[in-house]
Amino acid sequence: MSKTALISGVTGQDGSYLAELLLSKGYTVHGLLRRSSSFNTERIDHIYQEPQDFGRALELHYADLSDGVALVNLLRDIQPDEVYNLGAQSHVRVSFDVPLYTGDVTGLGAMRLLEAVRASGIDTRVYQASSSEMFGSAPPPQNELTPFHPRSPYGCAKVFAYWTTVNYREAYGLHATNGILFNHESPRRGETFVTRKITRAVARIHAGLQKKLYLGNLDAVRDWGYAPEYVEAMWLMLQQDEPDDYVVATGQSATVRQFLAAAFAAAGLEWTDYVRYDPKYERPSEVDALIGDAGKAREKLGWQPVTGWRELAELMVRADIETLEAELSGARVRVDR
Ligand code: NDP
Ligand code: GDR
């Protein structure tokens, strides 16, 4: 019998790739849609509006991680086999501006969903989108045993959600798993995260539409992987007999400056001609270096990363150049990559 999944955050980068993956495996997929005054389904329109391509439709439901009753009702109606909690206020810099909102949605939201699973009495497996930001200032390499030292309201909220997931596992026997994912990017990455901000600017500068790019700290070190490979790891985690916690990362790292140089070079440009510093992109407390050790995921899940940061920079630049050219020529923009 085919399985049913519920994804919160289905309109985000990871949610859209995960929905595609689950549909391709024959799942019935339900997504939680947040009410917005403008369209927020761009990343999933190709699977929502053209279900024939995937053989099975994605169903969307209005709900919100701040509304616990709506979550209970939704779970009772859908009775999913698997629940993926990807919904969050996920921007680290913004979390300093809206700390309570971030705590409510990113932290308490996970508890609301777990409590809704418990209250509705359904038998389901839960994936919690935990983050390398929980490690904060703990020195690399970081793995499942590294103590957390978060450096932002976002990081603190994710630590709360992480321990809540562990607690629901221990207290109620829920099949609840944390995936501690390091940064992962794609052409669908939100436009204000640093990689996409850079690759989008490269495309616009290349087309003569932009002259300068303003950035903050270029010395930060990140372990950047490719999002479609990371959602595969999420699915693998929920196929295990026992719930557990897993780090997902490439183990390779680069500074923002190195990513910047690679992205500009991919379009034949020299980054120092265009990039300027703006302190407004600095964070009150920064995470200097995240480099993951995904040995446990490799051993227990058989998961391995394929795409490295340099290749990622190149593929994102190519995609942004293509998208911009399509927009400028009035053609329909491809979103299915
Ligand atoms: P995005 O920012 O692209 O997507 C976030 C999703 O959460 C969107 O669908 C958004 O809806 C939804 N959302 C926001 N607020 C609420 C709310 N109040 N109720 C319900 N849904 C809400 O994130 P990513 O896809 O990059 O990341 C997915 C998850 O993984 C997030 O929890 C993130 O914190 C976590 N994570 C991400 C990593 C990464 O490198 N990408 C690394 C580690 C963890 P809308 O589209 O309407 O805004
Ligand atoms: P991060 O990603 O904070 O690691 O969180 P982001 O791309 O925002 O920042 C990475 C590093 O780049 C530096 N930086 C800038 N960042 C942004 N956004 N904009 C700039 O102009 C800029 N200039 C320099 C930052 O200071 C930082 O050091 C992401 C999110 O997806 C989280 O949800 C997720 O949990 C973590 O990755 C793992």
Provide residues with CB under 6 Å of ligand 1: 8-9, 11-15, 32, 34, 36, 40, 64-66, 86-90, 105, 129, 131, 181, 183-184, 190
Q: Whose C-alpha lies nearest to ligand 1, atom 40?
A: 183
Which range is least confidently modeled, 5-14, 129-138, 294-303, 323-332?
Answer: 323-332
Tokens describing residue 279: 């302190």
In terms of pTM, does the model score above 0.90? yes
Q: For 50-66, how does the pLDDT look when each residue is reduced to its tens digit (9 = 90+)?
A: 656 655 579 999 999 99
Mean pLDDT of 318-330: 95
Kindly give the distance from the C-alpha atom of residue 89 to the centroid of ligand 1, in angstroms, as a whole number.
6
CA contacts within 13 A on the Cβ side of 26: 3
Average pLDDT over residues 301-329: 97
Domains of the chain: 4-186+225-248 (3.40.50.720), 194-221+253-290+307-328 (3.90.25.10)
Helices (H), 49-187: 68-78, 92-97, 99-102, 109-120, 153-172
Task: Kindly state the average pLDDT of the residues 308-324.
Answer: 98
Residue in 14, 17, 86, 92 to alter for ligand 2 test, most ligand atoms within 8 A of Cβ? 92
**Hey, whose CA ends up nearest to atom 29 of ligand 1?**
86
What does residue 84 show for φ and ψ, rounded to 5 degrees? -110, 115
ipTM: 0.99
Mean pLDDT of the chain: 96
Contact 76, 120 (CB under 8 A): yes
94-110 mean pLDDT:
98
Q: Look at residue 242 and give its three-state secondary structure.
A: coil
Catalytic positions:
131, 133, 154
Mean pLDDT of the region 60-88 = 97
- If you average pLDDT over residues 312-334, what whole number do you get? 90
Check residue 54 and give its pLDDT.
59
- CA dist list (Å): 273 to 137, 192, 205: 32, 21, 11
Q: What is the pLDDT of residue 57?
A: 77
CB-based pocket (< 6 A), ligand 2: 90, 92-93, 131-133, 182-183, 192-194, 197, 215-217, 220, 222, 256, 281, 283, 286
pLDDT tens digit sequence for 154-198: 999 999 999 999 999 999 999 999 999 999 999 999 999 999 999
Which pLDDT belongs to residue 194? 98
3-state SS class at 83:
strand
**Counting atoms of ligand 1 from 1, which one is nearest the CA of 106?**
32
| pLDDT tens, position by position, 248-280 | 999 999 999 999 999 999 999 999 999 999 999
Burial of 191 (0-12, 13-18, 19+ CB in 10 A): exposed
